């Protein structure tokens, strides 16, 4: 990841969305670089946290991040989280389906839990 003005690496555990937006706006970091940094954190820590059911394929995440970066360049920013990767929390319904909000998405095998 490129470095900001302070020449220190971004601490993904403490940085907030407002500062990430500033970095994206200045061009100090790209959305693709943020995706890679967050995926690296997931890989590093999820082995013992077991917080992720799954992540989208890297190719899809990169394509999405690249598109959002192109929108940013064209000054078509959709909102305050534009270009910032995020994790959507899922919960497991008693019916053994993964749910996000009120929408049941994917049946799962309870033995995987």
Determine, yes or no, domain membership for 51: yes
pLDDT in tens, 31-87: 999 999 999 999 999 999 988 888 899 999 999 999 999 999 999 999 999 999 988
Determine, yes or no, domain membership for 94: no
Cβ burial, residue 42 (10 Å; 0-12/13-18/19+): middle
Tell me, what's the pLDDT at 4?
Answer: 43
Determine, yes or no, domain membership for 34: yes
Tell me, what's the pLDDT at 42?
Answer: 93
| Cβ–Cβ under 8 Å, residues 64 and 1 | no
pLDDT in tens, 85-113: 988 776 665 665 555 544 444 444 555 44
Is residue 21 classed as helix, strand or coil in its secondary structure? helix
Instruction: Quote the number of domains for the chain.
Output: 1
Tell me, what's the pLDDT at 76?
Answer: 94
Tell me, what's the pLDDT at 52?
Answer: 87
Determine, yes or no, domain membership for 45: yes
| Residue (of 73, 102, 81) closest to 90 by Cα position | 102
Determine, yes or no, domain membership for 57: yes
Per the structure, the complete domain to which residue 33 belongs is given by: 17-78
Upper half-sphere CA count for residue 67 (Cβ side, 13 Å): 7
**pTM tops 0.95, yes or no:** no
Residue with tokens 């970091």: 29
Q: What is the mean pLDDT of residues 10-29?
A: 93
Higher pLDDT, 91 or 22: 22
């Amino acid at each position: 990841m490129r470095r900001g003005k302070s020449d220190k690496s971004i601490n993904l555990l403490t940085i907030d969305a407002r500062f990430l937006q500033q970095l994206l706006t200045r061009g100090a970091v790209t959305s693709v670089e943020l995706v890679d940094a967050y995926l690296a954190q997931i890989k590093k820590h999820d082995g013992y946290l077991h917080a992720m059911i799954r992540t989208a394929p890297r190719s899809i995440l990169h394509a999405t991040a690249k598109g959002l970066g192109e929108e940013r360049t064209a000054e078509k920013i959709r909102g305050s989280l534009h270009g910032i990767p995020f994790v959507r929390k899922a919960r497991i319904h008693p019916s053994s389906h993964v749910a996000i909000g009120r929408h049941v998405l994917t049946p799962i095998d309870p033995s995987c839990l």
